Amino acid sequence: MRNYFSVTQLFLALLVLAVVPGVLQARSDRTIEDSGLFFSVIADRNGFFSLATVDAAQEVLRYELADLTVSFTLADQDQSDFDNPLFCFDFGSSVDSSIKVRATNSSGHLVLDERGLSSDLEYQLNDSRFAFTPSGSTQCFYVGSDGTSEVAEFGLFGVAPVQPADDPNADDLIFADRFELIENRSVRVSFEGVPDSVVAGETFSYDILIQNTGDAALDQLAFQEVFPGNATYFPAALAVGEWTCEGTACPAQTDTTPIRLDSISLPVDGSIRYQVSRTVDAGSTGGSTLVLYAGAVDGAGQEAPFDVAQAEIPVVGVLQQFEVSFTEASPIVTAGGVFPEFTIRAVDSGGNTIKTFDDSVGLTLRSSTATLAVLTTSITWVDGLATISNLDVPSDVEGTDRLIRVEFGDVTGDSAPFDIAAP
């Protein structure tokens, strides 16, 4: 059973529910189990977002009687059909609407900017859930499915943009005249300079590029970059000075968090470039993944041009050891000859490849008790891997249980033992 309220009834319900113990209160750790109240993007049983408190003393729903504003914070979620991120832009709601909704995610990113409501916000008593059905003037970006695929994608209303297919009759075309009377509006969003991986405690940088790739100006452009937070691994909020903007259409405000703009006019061939720096928590462990999301749309309606970008960055720990392995399972090595090909991999304590490692290392040939020779060769690292071939074997080093050792400071790594035959 669903319970629908008028705007006035809804607001009165919020006032009553806000003081019911155990219904709207959640622990300050923002865990999903303790929230008790959920928000959904569309009015069905998909896409639940748990609500959270900023601190233990604050209600889940926060309201201002003076201007009838309802605000809330979305909690982090790890398992959901509609996981973070979520952000919406409104291109037509009246500023005089009776109730306005303002929402932020757990990273402090604004996702609903005091959106005016009339009757499309409903509170369902049985589900302890607020349901939000986007109106025709609202554009929302989140991770979802179009209903035909089990794979969730990030895009406008949960569906990633699809490029138009080629004309199926193109092979039969003899002659065509085209009179371009309709303006072609198009926007492109991309991440540039994203690192292959990051190390705990490291500061990394990347660019976000927004381009007008059509032949008409974009007059209602809205854009947001979202970096879902996870307090265990990495903060999502940006501090003062951690991003800058280049371009004629940059918003007036700078050094704010998050990176969000609306009502921007971007001329043909115009672009906006954000330069962003973020720092991974020093206490992070390897094996997690940072995900960057960004979306832009120009106006309301199904025909509005939009684009999304997504990038994933593995988080690795500090260098722990080197893994050394021959390409051949049982290498045949002869003194005075050439070593069979082998690879070196730089890894952290969890066995994750540190793709950013590209320093010079030392190579030695050892017995089980002593160093037999220093090996000299040129080493080229590619994504934390180095392949060594055509390395000369010294003379007079024949024997059993030989190994190759890689050294970098206090970090070492040995190959499996092998035998070296006499020439």
In sequence order, the 6+-apart residues with CB closer than 8 A to the CB of 222 are 89, 91, 139, 261, 262, 263, 264, 296, 297, 298
Asked which of 316, 344, 377 is the last residue of a domain, the reply is 316
In terms of phi and psi (left: phi > 0; alpha: psi -120 to 50; beta: otherwise), the region of 275 is beta
CATH number at residue 214: 2.60.40.1530
- Give residue 208's identity as a one-letter amino acid code: I
> What is the per-residue pLDDT for 148?
54
Asked which of 111, 144, 177 is the last residue of a domain, the reply is 144
Task: Assess whether 129 and 195 both reside in one domain.
Answer: no
Q: What is the DSSP letter of 22?
A: T
Series of mean pLDDT values for 10-residue runs along the chain (423 residues): 45 43 31 54 56 63 69 63 71 64 73 64 65 72 63 69 46 50 80 88 90 92 83 67 83 68 89 90 71 90 87 84 93 94 92 86 93 93 92 94 95 95 93
First-to-last alpha carbon distance for the chain, in angstroms, is 86
Beta-bridge mates of residue 286: none
Task: Assess whether 127 and 250 both reside in one domain.
Answer: no
Residue 47 maps to a domain: yes
- Give residue 76's identity as a one-letter amino acid code: D
Beta-bridge mates of residue 308: 295
Task: Report the alpha-carbon distance of residue 75 to residue 53 in Å, rounded.
Answer: 8
Main-chain phi, psi angles of 129, to 5 degrees: -140, 140
Task: Assess whether 352 and 297 both reside in one domain.
Answer: no
Residue 121 maps to a domain: yes
Task: Assess whether 137 and 15 both reside in one domain.
Answer: yes
Residue 139 maps to a domain: yes
Task: Assess whether 265 and 384 both reside in one domain.
Answer: no
CATH number at residue 417: 2.60.40.1930
CB 403 within 8 A of CB 412: no
Q: Residue 143, exposed/middle/buried by CB under 10 A (0-12, 13-18, 19+)?
A: buried
Task: Report the alpha-carbon distance of residue 222 to residue 278 in Å, rounded.
Answer: 23
Q: What is the pTM of this model?
A: 0.68
Task: Assess whether 217 and 122 both reside in one domain.
Answer: no
Segment (H or E) for 6: none
Task: Report the alpha-carbon distance of residue 257 to residue 246 in Å, rounded.
Answer: 17
Task: Assess whether 289 and 212 both reside in one domain.
Answer: yes
Beta-bridge mates of residue 187: 212
Establish whether the linkage from the previous residue to 251 is cis, with ω within 30° of 0. no
Task: Assess whether 222 and 312 both reside in one domain.
Answer: yes
Task: Assess whether 71 and 35 both reside in one domain.
Answer: yes
Beta-bridge mates of residue 181: none
DSSP 352-387: -B-TT-----EEEEE-SSSEEEEE-----EETTEEE
Task: Assess whether 283 and 342 both reside in one domain.
Answer: no
Task: Find the domain containing 227 and state its range.
Answer: 185-316
Domain count, the chain: 3
Main-chain phi, psi angles of 217, to 5 degrees: -65, 150
Residue 351 maps to a domain: yes
> What is the per-residue pLDDT for 256?
58
Q: Residue 322, exposed/middle/buried by CB under 10 A (0-12, 13-18, 19+)?
A: buried
Nearest to 332 by CA among 323, 344, 320, 341: 341
In sequence order, the 6+-apart residues with CB closer than 8 A to the CB of 353 are 197, 316, 345, 346, 347, 383, 384, 385
Task: Report the alpha-carbon distance of residue 289 to residue 374 in Å, rounded.
Answer: 38
Q: What is the DSSP letter of 10?
A: H
> How many other C-beta atoms lie within 10 A of the C-beta of residue 6?
11
Task: Assess whether 269 and 312 both reside in one domain.
Answer: yes
Task: Assess whether 287 and 335 both reside in one domain.
Answer: no
Task: Report the alpha-carbon distance of residue 138 to residue 93 in Å, rounded.
Answer: 8
